[in-house]
Amino acid sequence: MARRPHDPPQSGPQRLTELVRSAVPPVHPAGLPFIAAGAAVAVLGRNHPWVRRAGLAAAVANAGFFRHPDRTPPARPGAVVAPADGQVCLIDVAPPPAELGLAADPVPRVSIFLSLLDAHVQRIPVGGEVLAVEHRPGRFHSADLPAASADNERTSVLIRTPGGHQVAVVQIAGLIARRIVCDLHVGDTVGLGQTYGLIRFGSRLDTYLPADSEVLIEPGQRALAGETVLARLS
């Protein structure tokens, strides 16, 4: 945060704290137990160098995996933003998940694959009202395979925008990911780019758009959750 002209001078520790806060992103609360476990191993094994190093490495790796960077959603009308960091692995048309109770007509779908190095918090692609939240058990294929959308364990969320558009976003577990966290409930009002969950560890996010949407991204592009515009609603 920038200092204002009339702010009192900062001490050395204050400047250091502000620098760390600006350089190191915050961590999602779901990651704190994993970071604490690694740190505990490092402390308990302080007399054994390899144990201490392993504990510190685990703590640092989990801090990176569960990082929760600040994002600024675009102000463009009708924008649908990426729900996850990662690479766009597929753009096609497909019926939305059956458990959402929507028509089986194919609609535009944008799939984002998250590697272990990506931030794994998920964000709301459009603002509006949550109409449905449905979890479906399934398999754990590698999340970058096309079959993952249909076969893997998933949690599907349907959102209706103030303009009446319906957008579905689906958290899909992967080969390593075994835990989907979704904090939404039916009736919730959500904002564009708001954090709503995460998947541990490595996963995929599918976004199903209205049929007349204009897709603005290409396969292979990198996306930033809450900032990259995937499509524009009519």
- How far apart are alpha carbons 67 and 151 in whole angstroms? 28
Q: What is the DSSP letter of 12?
A: H
Q: What is the DSSP letter of 173?
A: E
The answer to whether residues 85 and 186 touch, using CB atoms and an 8 Å cutoff, is no
Amino acid letter, residue 203: S
Strand pairing partners for 190? 128
Amino acid letter, residue 83: P
Q: How far is CA 185 from CA 43, 116, 156, 164, 196, in A?
A: 39, 27, 11, 19, 10
- How far apart are alpha carbons 46 and 130 in whole angstroms? 48
The answer to whether residues 140 and 173 touch, using CB atoms and an 8 Å cutoff, is yes
Amino acid letter, residue 155: T
Phi-psi region of 220 (alpha: psi -120 to 50; beta: other; left: phi over 0): left
- Could you say which of 111, 149, 203, 213 is catalytic? 203
The answer to whether residues 187 and 130 touch, using CB atoms and an 8 Å cutoff, is yes
Give yes or no: 203 in active site: yes
Write out the catalytic residue numbers: 203
